[in-house]
Amino acid sequence: MTNDSPTLVQTQERLVSAIRSEIADAEETLSATADQAGEKMARLRSRIENRLREAKFRLIDAEEALLARTREAAHAADHYVHESPWTAIGVAAGVGVVVGLLLGRRL
């Protein structure tokens, strides 16, 4: 996998964002047609309301999945640090040295 490949969490974040956008568009369409009368328009508004309700449920599910994945990643990182504290300290120190060297060269 390349660095340009989106992670599962990034993909889920994009999905949540897309669903939010669709919900906003549907709500805008619904409010724009509020003053329209007629049986055909009433059926259309009803369909839009149902789709909007379904989209909100999907959004809740996607957000819950994203939260679960984020918690799993945090738990795994916490577990690793507790299991290998010296390795974690070494990696953090190494990253700090590299960042320090890079910043020192720029100044």
For residues 97 and 107, give the distance between their C-alpha atoms in angstroms, rounded to a whole number: 15
> Does residue 90 form part of some domain?
yes
Checking if the pLDDT of 10 tops 60, the result is yes
> Does residue 37 form part of some domain?
yes
In whole numbers, what is the pLDDT of the chain averaged over residues? 81
Q: Which domain holds residue 96?
A: 8-106
How many domains does the structure of the chain reveal? 1
> Does residue 3 form part of some domain?
no
pLDDT digits (tens, 9 = 90+) for 80-92: 888 988 988 898 8
Q: What is the pTM of this model?
A: 0.51
pLDDT digits (tens, 9 = 90+) for 34-56: 777 778 777 877 887 888 888 88
From residue 68, alpha-carbon distances to 8, 42, 75 in Å are 12, 39, 10
